[in-house]
Structure formats: structure tokens, C-alpha cells
Chain A
Amino acid sequence: MSALLRRLFVVLVAWPVVLVLIGIHVRHRERLPGRGPAIVAANHNSHLDTLTLLSLFPLSVVPRVRPVAAADYFLSNRLLAWISTRLVGILPIARKARKTDPLLGCYEALERGEILIIFPEGSRGEPERLGELKTGIAHLAERYPEVPIVPVFMYGLGLALPRGEALLVPRFCDVHVGEAIRWTGERGGFMHALYGSLEQLGQQHRRARHGEDGER
């Protein structure tokens, strides 16, 4: 039942919004993990980010894709909580938990072989600017050094539906999938590698848009 609801959500909401209203161009879709355990680490500018990432996976995989999201925001009222957990399939984490490990749910999901979507910037930042990354993802990488972490850079979604706006303004967007990285053996070095990889995808985007030769 819950798998069906999640697939229906992707077909009836994510696809029309992402593929028709917005229109995305994906580079290196084949680099996305086909099965778990795996982590997708993306930049975050808009609520559309989650919808877009969900639409990239085949329907057979969708129920196993879990966007990691803040419990205090997405479980704040019953309707939002139902949509977030049942339709979008978020994995809520308590940002301010003191006693228990806030990443417990992530460990369990990875051990079940699910694909986590993580926005290492934390909350939605300034449109089209990569903010500072939170180190939670390094904890996961250290604990599960075999799990591939696939960086994804998205451009334009923060302009289509920016933070604080309720109106979606259609606009073509680009998604760049990078090559998977793994735990490097040291936290600072890992975070540096992840940041570097996301930033490189951003540069790739600018080069692709403006053309190497500039002729035509």
C-alpha cells in the first residue's frame, strides 16, 4: 500500500510538475544508484529539489528512495506529516535531538538497502549558491565506508520556486550527476572531496551552458 502511494505520488505529482511544467535536462543519469544502500548528496535551493530527484528514479526503485528531512519542519502539522511520510516518503530526523543519535533512522534505512537523499547544506540556501556543508553525511560515510555517495548538482529550481514563495514559475532546469565518491578515511578530507565534487559539477554546468568554443 505505502509503495503504491509513493509511486502514485511520483506519477501524478512529481512527473507532471518536473517533466511538463518545469522541464529538466539530466546529464549522466546512468550514474544514479540503481539500488541501495546508497546516498545521493545534492545541493538544496527549493522544495522542488526533492520532487526532481524522486522523478529521476525508475518507478520500481521509488519506494526505496528516502529523502532525509527535518522532523521539526515536515512533521509540524498532521496534514504535512502525512504527505511527507506517506507520499514523499521522507525519513524524518530530529535536528535538535540530544539524547539519541539523530542519524539512527539513516543507519536503519541503509541497512535495509534503501537509497538516501541528503541535502548536506541543511536547509534551502541562497538560490544557485553552494552553502557550507553539514558534517552529518561524513558520519554516515564513516560508519558505512562501502556505501557509494553520488553528488548531484541542480541548477534553476531555486529560481522556479525559491524559498518563501508559494508560486511556481516554470523554467527549464539542469541536473548534473557526478561520479560516486566513498569514505576517504578522514572527516575533513571527505567533506572537502564532497564539496569539491559538487562545485565541479556547478562549473561543468556553466561551461555546458555557455559552450566551450562560444561559436554558433
Chain B
Amino acid sequence: MSFEAPGNVRVALLAILGVLALASIVVAAMARARPEGDYAELKLRVKTWWYIVLVFCAAIAFDRTVSVCVLGFVSFLAFKEFLSLIPTRRADHRVLFWAYLAIPIQYYWVATARYGMFIIFIPVYAFLFLAMRLVLVGETQGFLRAAGTLHWGLMTTVFGLSHMAYLMALPAAGNPNGGGDALLLYLVLLTELNDIGQYISGKTFGRRKVIPKVSPKKTVEGLAGGVLATTVLAWVLAPWLTPLTAWESIAAGLIIGLSGFLGDVTVSAVKRDIGVKDSGSMLPGHGGVLDRLDSLTYTAPLFLHFLRYLHY
């Protein structure tokens, strides 16, 4: 274990911590200026952001083994939350245990940079194996639902999110501007700011609903404003953190902005189907882990493959 973040990544991490400190101060000042207002939720949200950012710094600042362990644990939390949400059959108890084993195996492929295994392990081997195990249980009532939900959970929370970690396993020479650390930072920063940008621009300009049946608060104006801000930021940060050219970085911004929205509403649809408000309660002020990672389940795989197609 060693501390080995490149210079530009260190500067970026410090800048993020600075912005967060500023946010804490502003919220505290607002609460003091207007004591009658209710800032409890906002305070809680900012406080939880501190934990998230510190975990993320730990994931990025040390060597690849540490990053893979931290991000693997994040996948574990997300998958656990998913399994706690969906209705599971009592008979499938042991199969769920096998499904958990997919997490260390998938992150082992990341740690050893074996792209071939990384990309087929869950879609092929885990998919076939878990279906077989469910068949051996012998309970056909609800079989398709059990197999389908289980695999959907693995694909989003383990396969999808592990793409974040795989950015670290790409050959360092592919990105002279800080290697995998910088790419991971670029992806996560843009995805999270896109969430915030869509929220703020929706609150400010939002009028026409995009997809009211799934997410009644999402608006066309929110989506457009968020995507625009994300694309501009993607273009500004690209020369500093990525090997992307100007046009490529604009495409990356559009991909992250639009697919972040899709990830968000997909998890919303799951929550609506199950009939819960939040995916969990692990992150006070935000809801569950999946409420925060929802956009990344879409942006991480799409960004990695976009980048890989162009530069690796």
C-alpha cells in the first residue's frame, strides 16, 4: 500500500475537499442567518457527502489493490441493498450466497487487469451458473422472477460498477495526464456533478415533466441544463485529466450527462416497482447507497467502453 496519486489528481482532490468545506460553511451560515428555516436535511446531506468524498479519496489516492478493495466493498454494499429490497424466495437462500461470491471474483479480474474475464464473467459464467443453481433448488414457482432479478442486480451493482475500478487497470501509458486515477476522478466527478446540476436546474427552470410515471420531479429543463453543464465541464477538464481530444470530450460529456439521467430513472423505476421511497438508509440525507450510485451504474460502463474504443 502506498500513496501514489499523480500531481493533477491531488490538486483535484484538494479542490473537491475545498468546495465541500465551502458548502459546509455556506449551509452553516444560512442556518444561522435564518434560524426559522429548516436546514436539517441539507446539513445531513452535506455531512454525508464528506463521508462519500473521503471514501472516494481513499479509493483513488492509494495503489490499485486498495482501490479495488474499496470499490469492491462499495459494490458489495450496493448489491446487498438490492437484495434487501427485492422479494426473495426462502428456498433460494444458498443461491444468494453464491451470487455474493461473484463480487470478489469480479474484482479479482480487475486487480489482475484481465479484461477478457472481467467482461464475460458475470454476463456469461455467473449468469449460467446461478440459473443452474436455481434450477437445482427445484422450485419452479417464481423461477424466472428470481433468476431475472438476481442477474439484473449483479449486472448493475457488480458488473456495471466494477467498470469504475477497471479504469484503474487500463495501461498507464494510455493516459499521460494522470493514468487511471485521473480517469476515475473524471468519471465520478462528472457523474455526481451531473446529478447535482440536473437537480438545481430542474428546481430553477423545471416546467415540463420528462417521465412523470417513473420520476415525477424530473423535468426536460433539469435534464437539458444538467447535460449542458456536464458537457462544458467535461470539455474544460479533459485536457487536464484525460487523453480525450476536444470533440471526444464533448461526446464524453453528453454520454455521461444523458446516461447518468438514465441510470437515475432506471433505479427509480425499480424502487417504484417494489414500492419503496428510498433504496435504503445507509446515507443519511440521500437515502440508500443505490440512490447515490444509480447514475454510475450507467455512466461507468459506457464511459469505459467509449474511452477504450478510442484510446486503448
Query: Which chain A residues have a beta carbon within 8 Å of chain B's beta carbons?
Result: 23, 25, 127, 156, 159, 162, 165, 167-174, 209-211, 213-216
CB of B88 within 8 A of CB of A216, answer no
B90 at the A interface (CB under 8 A): yes
Q: How far is the CA of A209 from the CA of B275 in the complex (A)?
A: 9
How many whole Å from B73's CB to the nearest CB in chain A? 9
Q: Which of B74-103 contact A (CB under 8 A)?
A: 76-77, 80-81, 83-84, 88, 90, 93-94, 96-97, 100
Verify if B23 is at the interface (C-beta below 8 Å from A): no
Closest to A167 in B: B97
Q: What are the residues of chain A within 8 A of B97 when measuring CB–CB?
A: 167-169
CB<8 Å pairs between A and B, sample of 18: A23-B77, A127-B90, A156-B84, A159-B88, A167-B94, A169-B96, A169-B97, A170-B80, A171-B80, A172-B80, A172-B280, A173-B84, A209-B276, A210-B275, A211-B278, A216-B268, A216-B271, A216-B278
> Which B residues are in CB contact (< 8 Å) with A209?
276
What's the minimum C-beta distance from A193 to chain B, rounded to whole angstroms? 29
Q: Which 3 A-B pairs have the closest CB atoms?
A: A211-B277, A172-B84, A25-B281
Closest Cβ–Cβ distance, residue B288 to chain A (whole Å): 8
Query: What interface size band does chain B fall in?
Result: 20 to 34
A170 contacts B282, C-beta separation under 8 Å: no
The majority secondary structure among interface residues of chain A is loop
The docked-state distance in angstroms from the alpha carbon of A216 to that of B77 is 22
Known: A23-B282, A159-B88, A215-B216. A171 touches B277 (CB 8 A): no
Q: Do A167 and B216 have beta carbons less than 8 Å apart? A: no
CA distance A165 to B88 in the complex (A): 16
- A171:B281 contact, CB within 8 angstroms: no
Contact between chains at B93 and A216 (CB < 8 Å):
no
**Nearest chain B residue, comparing its CB with the CB of A155:** B84
Which residues of chain B come closer than 8 Å to A156, judged between CB atoms? 84
Q: Report the bound CA distance from A168 to B77 in whole Å.
A: 15
**How far is the CB of B72 from the nearest CB of chain A, in Å?**
13
